[in-house]
Structure 1
Amino acid sequence: MFECPNCAHNLKFDIKAQQMKCDACESLFDPYVIEMDRYAENSEYFETNIFTCPQCGGQIISEDTEIATFCLFCGSATILTEHLSQEKRPDYIIPFQKTKEDCIKAYKKMMKKAFFVPKEFKDEKFIDGFKGVYIPYWTYNFHAKEKMCLKGTLTKQERDRVLTEKYNIFADVDAEFKGDYYDASASFYDEISYALAPYDLSKSKKFTTGFLSGYYANCAEVDEFIYLSDSEELAKKEISQKITQDNAFSRYELYDKDKIEINFVSRAEKVLFPVWLMSYRNKDRVAYAAVNGQTGKIVADFPVDTKKFLLSSLLLALPIFALLNFIVVLTKAEVVALGLFWLFLSLMMYALELYDIYEKESMYTDKGIFRQTDSLKTIKNRLKGAGDFLPGALFLRIFGFFFRMNWIYKMIFIIGFIWCGIVHYRFLDITIWPFIIVLDICGLCSVGGQLMKFKQTKNYLAVILSTVALIISSIVLLLNPIQVLGYHCATGLSLFALAVNFIFIIKDYNGLAMRKLFRFNSEGGRDFE
């Protein structure tokens, strides 16, 4: 703890003043001066308390003993084990710029748009659970200074002929690339860290322990070399683009301009970034809300209240059904085929949901977790923004999944959509239903294939009901009975299977929003619980 030189009470970093402030006498002090008084030597290491969660193994640096009863990362109310440790000093730190009040205000603003979020997420006691924590990041700087030779051509038009001249183009390259960063914490998801970006590194300051007073810091478990290749690839791309756009080169048609070899001298620095973090645990899953402590940008995992969503959907569906009942007149076969088509759409949405869950829980895109896996491929595409964290993502998934399909599925979707629009003219009802049946078979295969990926047993009820609905509807369409009872039963069964599929979609969306709880080992790696 830092003691006030005037009254010996606790000093904490005050965000508004950007200085150390005494709780009692409200005196302000420079964080660097306070540390000089506390540490006589400018050591490469500093002594601090490390708190370890027995539930998940996550580690937090803090001098505040209140944290000993709650884990920031898994949301467990448990007694954390404490020990003194010598931690290597970060190079820089971005102090908090946004207060807890700013953080809560941003969260409540987001909650106004979250209509289907469970009521627990809007509880004042829950919202007050935001904690200020510094997350360690590796920042990479690259410098290239070398002689370069590129091969290129210059084409000239002379009267009735075209001349192509070949050149060796020599240049002295003196380039610098800096400011690329990746989180160095194994307990902080890369997905969230990317969504919280950007941070302004120009506002970073030389590290001093005074900035940590009153806040927490996460330990850096990820080695600096894990993300080096990714950052170097980005640096090469940026510098190569600058070189080829230079006036000295732009007039030439360069050979292999995408494969320019550049030799870098690299340097990695550890910087602490400010984050307001809140966790919510439900059994073996945990949801996070995180706010960028510099810019105020918010990212959150929001599950959906199933009852609220289904009730709202029903209230919306009734007037739409009544309106369509007056506008569109369909034959018995068309109604059955239409039910099968919507069943296909629900199956495809469910398959995409399962794909997302498998991809997220396999965690192969988070190099902080798989840093000991030699076969891990370079991550080339980062997640952008926080779309998958918002409740609105459920609707984006329903209406926007078309854009994620390959061109074959897109053509199937377009053809089916056109049919839905013109089916009441009745000139397609003879040939369209076999095509719809094929679509449903494809949907069933897609869902079944995704379910088989999971080691743990998944519920096949949606597949079974959809299969039964497909078989009965196919029989009715093939036999074409005179009685309407068969058509009503087939349509009703398809709609029932459709409703069950949507219940599973919502249920698994909640599983996607709330992350699988991991167990951190002593070296910072993770295992599933």
Structure 2
Amino acid sequence: MATMFPCPNCGGQLRYSIKDKQLKCMSCGELTDVEQYKPDDRINADSVNTKIYTCPTCNGEIQLIDNDGMEFCPFCGNQVTMQEHFSTEGAPKYVLPFMIDKQEAKQSYIRNTIDISFAPTGLNDDANVEKLVPLYTPYYLYDYNIHDKISYKAERYETTSQYYVTYKANIKVDMDLDHLKVPFDASQALDDEIAEKLEPFPMEKLKPFNPNYLAGFFVENSTVEKDLYKDDSEHKAVDYLTYKSLDNSNNYSPEFGSKNEIKNNISSSIKYNDTEGAYLPLYFMTTRYGDRVAYSIINGATGQTYLDMPIEKRKMFIAGAFASLGIFALLVCLSFLFNFSFKVKTLCLFSAFMSSVIAYIGAGLANKTYRSDNHLDDKGYYMNNANLDEEHRVNGKKEYYADKMRKSKPFGHPGQILGLVASAIAIFVVFQLATGNFGFIEWLFYGLSQVSSGGTNYLGIIGYIATGVIIIIAMFKVGKGKKTVLFLGVLSWILAVAIRIINNPDDLFYYGALIIVFTILVISINAIVDEYNRSATHPSPHFERKGGGIENARN
């Protein structure tokens, strides 16, 4: 097929050169001005009539703007033959040209990954890094203005050898902005949380849409409607302007309550102008890990990098084994030098502590994985019509998203849970004191403590109670996530506490029982690494929604 961007000198193929900021002929090397050049009739400022490649595995779509065919899918990472068809897609209002070339993107990727411990083998291999795809991604830019003076009370502290001095001031900040553009991705493929980590984009470098900037690149079609993030964009704009107002305070900090007052003033003054579509530049790479995928995404204008980074367990366990042997040898040497020894009973508390920490971390990772795999924090996924059931299509998209968020949140904040546990313990103790029944309390104190000098080790008791509270928090924190790590952590914690309560005088009993506990802990660590790797990757995607109408955001 003839090129859409023929060279005016030799008829060869023109591509946009990031380095030269002009169109460059792949045959003769001739440079052509981007703004002056007119491509053929298949592509213009209003529409792009070009090849669309669809992945047969994940259903993802990508436009090839006068580019070579694709041997792999940039979204799911599968080596597949992309299905080709022609389509006319609407064009956005703006485009932000790539500012760093592929070689610079590779170097940024390698810099960010080369020193990562336990990174998967082959991460920096040329064959893997070469998969970085320069991809124009659809965004909506929510445009705001504000013209107001923001005032707030602030204070600053200084300490001298004799005095503690407080300076107070009334800070006034001129807020005078005509076009504050707040970006939100219009892509079902790009998770909202990932997109936020790739910001900011240099909005001052935006260009009116010109298809010449797309020559030789890949373009993703929009799959999200333009009104979706309007409320979120206002909150984001207010937060940004609040930060800017505080940044101009000459080292003064707002007095208590002033920050909320600033936010309220900005919220009442800020005005929404319009929503505009734009193509923003990203380098996108997908690496497969079993049945899951890891994303590496680089901001094509600033080099800001997002990485999904699973752990290679073999490397971790080898390093852990050497570290454990080194620590053991060090402790043995210190015990001979300073003539001390560890009491086997103290290992019970250590085991209980490790078990509770593993349960807590595992619960957090499991909940994070569940939320990520089900896109519960990705508004762009849940707001697509194809992902809504019939009932919620009728009731409305925003209500559905709010409903999913409410139902999926683990019950209770850790502070609330701690208060609940403390209240339960207080009620229990008061009840025991009121009834004069001290038998259980005495038995518990005796079983969990070391008896020395005729007294009770209350520090040990507090330690066991603290680990129990952590276990309870973990049970709430896991939410709807997998319970494997939580179960193993709770099991080893119960065994550690039970061994201490039994208080068998035979050290061999302790050693044998603790070997079982530590075996479960090792299994738990293996499980927690598996859970981390799940949280650090994503399920292989499958896209249903087609067409978000970015061409409707041009006014």
| Distance in 1 between residues matched to 2:57 and 2:280, nearest whole Å | 25
Q: Retained in 2: the 8 A contact 1:340–1:494? A: no
| Distance in 1 between residues matched to 2:200 and 2:85, nearest whole Å | 34
Match of 2:374?
Answer: 362
Q: CA offset at residue 308 of structure 1?
A: 0.4
Match of 1:394?
Answer: none
Q: Could you say if the C-alpha distance between residues 523 and 233 of structure 1 is closer, same or farther in structure 2, counting changes exceeding 3 Å?
A: same
Q: Retained in 1: the 8 A contact 2:348–2:497? A: no
SS of residue matched to 2:109: helix
Match of 1:350?
Answer: 362
Q: Retained in 1: the 8 A contact 2:358–2:489? A: no
Q: CA offset at residue 55 of structure 1?
A: 1.3
| Distance in 2 between residues matched to 1:337 and 1:266, nearest whole Å | 61
Match of 2:102?
Answer: 100
The TM-score with structure 2 as length reference comes to: 0.73
Q: Retained in 1: the 8 A contact 2:355–2:490? A: no
Q: Retained in 1: the 8 A contact 2:52–2:62? A: yes
Amino acid at match of 2:347: V
SS of residue matched to 2:87: strand
Match of 2:13?
Answer: 10
Amino acid at match of 1:517: S
Q: Retained in 2: the 8 A contact 1:192–1:299? A: yes
Map 1:244-323 onto structure 2 (within 5 A): 259-260=264-265, 261-262=268-269, 264-323=271-330
SS of residue matched to 1:270: strand
Map 1:114-125 onto structure 2 (within 5 A): 114-125=116-127
Of the candidates 28, 31, 35, which is equivalent to residue 28 of structure 1?
Answer: 31
Of the candidates 316, 319, 331, which is equivalent to residue 324 of structure 1?
Answer: 331
Provide structure 1 residue ranges, at least 5 long, that are not aligned to the other structure. Answer: 153-172, 381-403, 413-422
| Distance in 1 between residues matched to 2:30 and 2:476, nearest whole Å | 65
Amino acid at match of 2:214: L
Of the candidates 371, 374, 381, which is equivalent to residue 398 of structure 2?
Answer: 374
| Distance in 2 between residues matched to 1:426 and 1:305, nearest whole Å | 46
| Distance in 1 between residues matched to 2:43 and 2:317, nearest whole Å | 63
| Distance in 2 between residues matched to 1:116 and 1:409, nearest whole Å | 35
Match of 2:513?
Answer: 490
Q: Could you say if the C-alpha distance between residues 315 and 237 of structure 1 is closer, same or farther in structure 2, counting changes exceeding 3 Å?
A: closer
Q: Deviations over 1:243-287 (max 9, x none)?
A: 9999xxx9xx99977545347342111111111111112343111
Q: CA offset at residue 212 of structure 1?
A: 1.1
Q: CA offset at residue 237 of structure 1?
A: 6.0
| Distance in 1 between residues matched to 2:26 and 2:182, nearest whole Å | 38
Q: Once superposed, what is the RMSD of the aligned Cα atoms? A: 3.9
1:230 has 2:232 as partner: yes
Q: Retained in 1: the 8 A contact 2:7–2:14? A: yes
Q: CA offset at residue 493 of structure 1?
A: 2.3
| Distance in 1 between residues matched to 2:547 and 2:456, nearest whole Å | 61
Map 1:164-175 onto structure 2 (within 5 A): none
Of the candidates 201, 208, 233, which is equivalent to residue 199 of structure 1?
Answer: 201
Match of 1:162?
Answer: none
Q: Deviations over 1:29-59 (max 9, x none)?
A: 122333x252499652231222221211211
Q: Deviations over 1:211-238 (max 9, x none)?
A: 1111101111111111111222344566
Identity %: 24
Match of 2:161?
Answer: none
Q: Retained in 1: the 8 A contact 2:43–2:49? A: no
Q: Retained in 2: the 8 A contact 1:116–1:305? A: yes
Of the candidates 473, 496, 520, which is equivalent to residue 473 of structure 1?
Answer: 496
Of the candidates 44, 57, 60, which is equivalent to residue 58 of structure 1?
Answer: 60
Q: Retained in 2: the 8 A contact 1:437–1:470? A: no
| Distance in 1 between residues matched to 2:329 and 2:451, nearest whole Å | 20
Number of aligned pairs?
A: 460
| Distance in 1 between residues matched to 2:101 and 2:262, nearest whole Å | 47
Match of 2:439?
Answer: none
Q: Could you say if the C-alpha distance between residues 23 and 464 of structure 1 is closer, same or farther in structure 2, counting changes exceeding 3 Å?
A: closer
Q: Deviations over 1:12-44 (max 9, x none)?
A: 11111111111111011122333x252499652
Q: Deviations over 1:101-123 (max 9, x none)?
A: 11111122222211211112122
| Distance in 1 between residues matched to 2:416 and 2:452, nearest whole Å | 28
Please, which moves more after superposition, 36-45 or 174-183? 36-45
SS of residue matched to 2:362: helix
| Distance in 2 between residues matched to 1:41 and 1:322, nearest whole Å | 70
| Distance in 2 between residues matched to 1:41 and 1:272, nearest whole Å | 15
SS of residue matched to 1:343: helix
Match of 2:523?
Answer: 500
Q: Deviations over 1:54-79 (max 9, x none)?
A: 21121111135643432111111112
